[in-house]
Amino acid sequence: MDLYALTIHEARELLDRGEVSSTELTEAVLERIYALDNEIKAYLTLTPELAMEQAAEADRRLAAGERTPLLGIPLAIKDVLCLEGVPTTCGSRILENFIPPYDATVVARLREMGAVFLGKTNTDEFAMGSSTENSAFFTTRNPWDLTRVPGGSSGGSAAAIAADLCLGALGTDTGGSVRQPAALCGVTGLKPSYGRVSRYGLVAYASSLDQVGTFGKDVVDAAILLQAIAGHDPRDSTSMDLPVPDYLAALKAPDVRGLRVGVPQEYFIEGMQPEVEKGVRAAIAQLADMGAEIVEISLPHTEYALPVYYLIAPAEASANLARYDGVRYGLSVAAKDLWETYRRTRGQGFGPEVKRRIMLGTYALSAGYYDAYYLKAGQVRTLIKQDFERAFEQVDVIVCPTSPTTAFRIGERIDDPLQMYLADIFTISVNLAGVCGISIPCGFDDQELPIGLQVIGPAFGEERILSLAHAYQQATEWHKHRPSLPIPA
Ligand code: GLN
């Protein structure tokens, strides 16, 4: 049996029955990483000593009779989330030597539950990007075709799941960064509603949009991870003080009969890859066969989502990134005076995309332009949010493509920011509206590259999207396909 290929819920049964130890499981995944990650490049930092220690501790807890969902399960953490004592670079030179003295709340929760941390995964610098090519260190490769991007910005986590280099992973999603790489790597990726999960210890990109999300080999695993990290945190005032439902109970009796499934006409656009449309339409037909009621809907302000996002996200980023001044932590390039120190530190520490966003954001926030750009963008954001509120009066969930294309080639869009930004055209509205979404595999194009189906639910309606996505996976096999990679000896 290839232990690294297990899902979290499969591994759980073997661990609980004492048929496999966490030490054996963790070793198997680490071996797989050593054999394959030179090619895939999913991880920025590996933490094998920490992992083996945590695995040994998990085995002690298992032997003492503890039975909890993530005890002894090897996971990967996107490198924008603080893991105490381990470099947290955000894919940036400016934080290359930053070692956080504390855990992000999501990391602390997983640690208490006895999860095993394999390492930190690659990301576009400060999560700005859709391909991991903006990482200051290297580009992660798509396990389905090593000449292609894994998507981004959580491309390292998505590729790690697709190549069986971890059992589950955390990512973050500000405009699509969990769902889009999940689609391009053929795995399951969930972005919870804004406020569902604590952002404490997540290095901020755009604070009104950022949310921690989960990656799994299937919906059950994504739900297990969400269960672990969801809920109020007094350290993040935007995390909602609401009860956390039992997400796994919502998966018990998968049934979509009578469910009203909305298909937004604005999400099938000219210029999208025809095979993506075909794959998504086939998935919708499958849902209809399973008894769902398909309803044509409209989200009329969709066309404004991209421009609104590229005002709000850079504006917030320009403010959040002001803290990297070479004084308190991170890179510091000494110079003759303080201003020159700032200039050189930031000039050398940030990559081109981050600088572009800081300039865009600073411009949008500057006196004289604020009302025309930032304020206006906020108003249109409200219209986009209202589109979803109206839609959810009519339907229970919305389905559409996750990404307009399958994985593109490394280098293909790097010099064309607009093309790169278009990768998130179907995911960005979800963040602007604060609702939740999940991407699940629903087919392949003629290059054997995975296609993602996005299921969107109302704010704090994660059970709905998990349950529909799970029902689809019960009826189909797409999520079980794996890229053919050399098996380690
Ligand atoms: N690709 C989008 C951006 O570059 C979204 C990134 C994200 O969700 N972190 O901003």
Helix/strand/coil (H, E, C) string of the chain?
A: CCHHHCCHHHHHHHHHCCCCCHHHHHHHHHHHHHHHHHHHCCEEEECHHHHHHHHHHHHHHHHCCCCCCCCCCEEEEECCECCCCCCCCCCCHHHCCCCCCCCCHHHHHHHHCCCEEEEEECCCHHHCCCCCCCCCCCCCCECCECCECCCCCCHHHHHHHHCCCCCEEEEECCCCCCHHHHHHHCCEEEECCCCCECCCCECCCCCCCCCEEEEECCHHHHHHHHHHHECCCCCCCCCCCCCCCCCCHHHCCCCCCCCEEEEEHHHCCCCCCHHHHHHHHHHHHHHHHCCCEEEEECCCCHHHHHHHHHHHHHHHHHHHHHHCCCCCCCCCCCCCCHHHHHHHHHHHHCCHHHHHHHHHHHHHHCCCCCHHHHHHHHHHHHHHHHHHHHHHHHCCEEEEECCCCCCCECCCCCCCHHHHHHCCCCCHHHHHHCCEEEEEEEEECCCCCEEEEEEEECCCCHHHHHHHHHHHHHHCCHHHCCCCCCCCC
* 165: nearest Cα among 292, 75, 235: 75
Q: How far apart are CA 64 and CA 58, in angstroms?
A: 10
CA 112 to chain centre: 22
For strands 74-78 and 116-121, give the pairing: parallel
Nearest C-alpha to atom 5 of ligand 1 is from which residue? Answer: 175
> What does pLDDT average to over the chain?
97
Nearest-atom number in ligand 1 for the CA of 424 is: 1
* 110: nearest Cα among 240, 230, 194: 230
Q: Which residues are catalytic?
A: 78, 153, 177
Distance (Å) from CA 142 to ligand 1 centroid: 18
Q: Are 171 and 205 in contact (CB under 8 A)?
A: no
Which pLDDT belongs to residue 220? 98
Which pLDDT belongs to residue 252? 92
Mark 10-28 as b/e (b = at least 16 C-beta within 10 Å). bbbebbeeeebbbbbbbbb
Residue 316 CB coordination number (10 Å)? 22
Distance (Å) from CA 23 to ligand 1 centroid: 36
Distance (Å) from CA 156 to ligand 1 centroid: 14
Tell me the backbone φ, ψ of residue 191, rounded to 5 degrees.
-105, 115
The two three-digit tokens of residue 470, written as one number = 């799970």
Distance (Å) from CA 474 to ligand 1 centroid: 31
Distance (Å) from CA 152 to ligand 1 centroid: 7
HSE toward the beta carbon, residue 131, CA cutoff 13 A? 27
Nearest-atom number in ligand 1 for the CA of 176 is: 8
Distance (Å) from CA 209 to ligand 1 centroid: 10
Distance (Å) from CA 127 to ligand 1 centroid: 6
Nearest-atom number in ligand 1 for the CA of 310 is: 10
Collect the ranges in the chain with pLDDT lower than 50: 489
Mutate to test the pocket of ligand 1, among 121, 177, 179, 191 (most ligand atoms within 8 A of CB): 177
Mutate to test the pocket of ligand 1, among 153, 421, 429 (most ligand atoms within 8 A of CB): 153
To 5 degrees, how large is the angle CA 304–CA 310–CA 312? 95
Nearest-atom number in ligand 1 for the CA of 423 is: 1
**Domain boundaries of the chain, sorted by first residue:** 3-261+393-480, 303-378
Q: How far apart are CA 63 and CA 323, in angstroms?
A: 46
Any idea how long the chain is? 489
275's CB contacts (< 8 A; 6+ apart) are: 406, 443, 445, 446, 451
Nearest-atom number in ligand 1 for the CA of 421 is: 1
Which pLDDT belongs to residue 271? 86
Nearest-atom number in ligand 1 for the CA of 313 is: 10
Mutate to test the pocket of ligand 1, among 135, 424, 428, 430 (most ligand atoms within 8 A of CB): 424
Q: Are 264 and 299 in contact (CB under 8 A)?
A: yes
Domain 3-261+393-480 superfamily per CATH: Amidase signature (AS) domain (3.90.1300.10)
Nearest C-alpha to atom 10 of ligand 1 is from which residue? Answer: 128
Burial, 298: exposed, middle or buried (Cβ in 10 Å; 0-12, 13-18, 19+)? middle
Which pLDDT belongs to residue 487? 60
Nearest-atom number in ligand 1 for the CA of 205 is: 9
Nearest-atom number in ligand 1 for the CA of 154 is: 9
Which pLDDT belongs to residue 488? 53
First-last CA distance in the chain: 13
Q: How far apart are CA 35 and CA 429, in angstroms?
A: 39
Burial, 123: exposed, middle or buried (Cβ in 10 Å; 0-12, 13-18, 19+)? buried
Which residues form ligand 1's pocket by a CB distance below 6 Å?
127-130, 153, 173-177, 205, 313, 424
Q: What sign does the CA torsion over 451, 423, 176, 291 have?
A: negative
Distance (Å) from CA 458 to ligand 1 centroid: 21
Distance (Å) from CA 428 to ligand 1 centroid: 8
The two three-digit tokens of residue 246, written as one number = 């039992």
Mutate to test the pocket of ligand 1, among 130, 190, 207, 316 (most ligand atoms within 8 A of CB): 130
Distance (Å) from CA 238 to ligand 1 centroid: 20
Residue 49 CB coordination number (10 Å)? 8
pTM greater than 0.85? yes
Mutate to test the pocket of ligand 1, among 79, 81, 128 (most ligand atoms within 8 A of CB): 128
The two three-digit tokens of residue 362, written as one number = 């600073």
